[in-house]
Structure 1
Amino acid sequence: MTQNIINNPEFQGMLKMVIEEKIPFCHLLGMKLDSFDPDAPRLSIGMRDELLGNFAQGMLHGGVIASVLDSVAGFAILLKMAQQSPQDDVLSQIKEFGKMSTIDLRIDYLQPGRGKHFVATAEVTRLGKRVANVLMDLRNEKGDRIATGAAAFMLHGRA
């Protein structure tokens, strides 16, 4: 089972449940996991009035943008860890998510967050024993780049 844990429907279902339902803030934002590919992870959110920062202009709040990019970074790291050093079972692999924390997050807001649907992607540029580095991207449904980000995560208790 460890060889293909990323493609395991139990792993994907449990991870979807954790991010989409069990993490209250991710649930509040309406995050949906779209791709479990460790080399091209993707999550998305739909625009809702509750997510507006500038209600007169209909723009996504900057804090929402930062939160989505932070979340896709963590998702990307978890998938990369599952690919490179799979655990013996699905639950142990999911628990790796709770052993990481953001230690640095930089967001570049490139243009106003206008759109009906937003897609966040990430690339893990380094996965070390204690720290992981990630580059992130957020685009609207037209493909317009709204923001980019770079993050560093502490990996607690990684062997």
Structure 2
Amino acid sequence: MKQEMVNNPEFQTLLTQVLEEKIPFCHLLGVKVASLDPDRPRLQFDMREELLGNFAQGMLHGGVIASVLDSVAGIAILLKMAALHPKEDVFSQLREFGLMSTIDLRIDYLQPGKGASFTANAEVTRLGKRVANVLMDLRNEKNERIATGAAAFMLHGRT
């Protein structure tokens, strides 16, 4: 019988390592896993000088915001697939991450990206056989909404 994958400690540990250490761009941004809740995963990162887009105003670069929202969307899809369609083993489940790609990403920048730390979360709104849709949100440590996003991902090889 398949163990519930999303609560499998090995799966959670390896997924965290993949995101925080194995994906070079996420590592560069300093992204950390805050929650692997399959209904609303959260990623966090701290403001650093290297992430500034407007150095005079101390605001996050828009590309950082888009990248983190894209990343949390991918994690949300992987967790939803693990919850609804668990694989036989942890490594087969993690391979699903490599079989998805962003096909549409929309970001609404609501206010300047100012803050000391930021949290991104996502919710899968549709998990189809070939396409998944996700809504995302980025807030600072004061819980001020900085940006929202919507994405569609192609699920390659899913049947």
TM-score range, shorter chain: over 0.9
Equivalent in the alignment of 1:151: 151
Task: Measure the CA separation in 2 of the matches of 1:52 and 1:42.
Answer: 22
Aligned residues: 159
Amino acid corresponding to residue 33 of structure 1 in structure 2: V
Task: Measure the CA separation in 1 of the matches of 2:147 and 2:155.
Answer: 25
Task: Describe the SS at the equivalent of 1:2.
Answer: coil
Task: Measure the CA separation in 2 of the matches of 1:23 and 1:142.
Answer: 28
Task: Describe the SS at the equivalent of 1:98.
Answer: helix
Q: State the shift of 1:5 in Å.
A: 1.1
Deviations 1:91-139 (A, max 9, x none): 0000000000000000000000000110000010000000000000000
Amino acid corresponding to residue 117 of structure 2 in structure 1: H
Gaps of 5+ in 1: none
1:57 aligns to 2:57 (yes or no): yes
TM (norm. structure 1) is: 0.98
Query: Using a 3 Å threshold, how does the CA distance of structure 1 residues 2 and 43 change in structure 2: closer, same or farther?
Result: farther
Task: Measure the CA separation in 1 of the matches of 2:64 and 2:36.
Answer: 22
TM (norm. structure 2) is: 0.98
Gaps of 5+ in 2: none
The percentage of counterpart residues that share the same residue type is: 77
Which of structure 1's runs of 4+ aligned residues deviate more than 3 A? none
Task: Measure the CA separation in 1 of the matches of 2:102 and 2:138.
Answer: 18
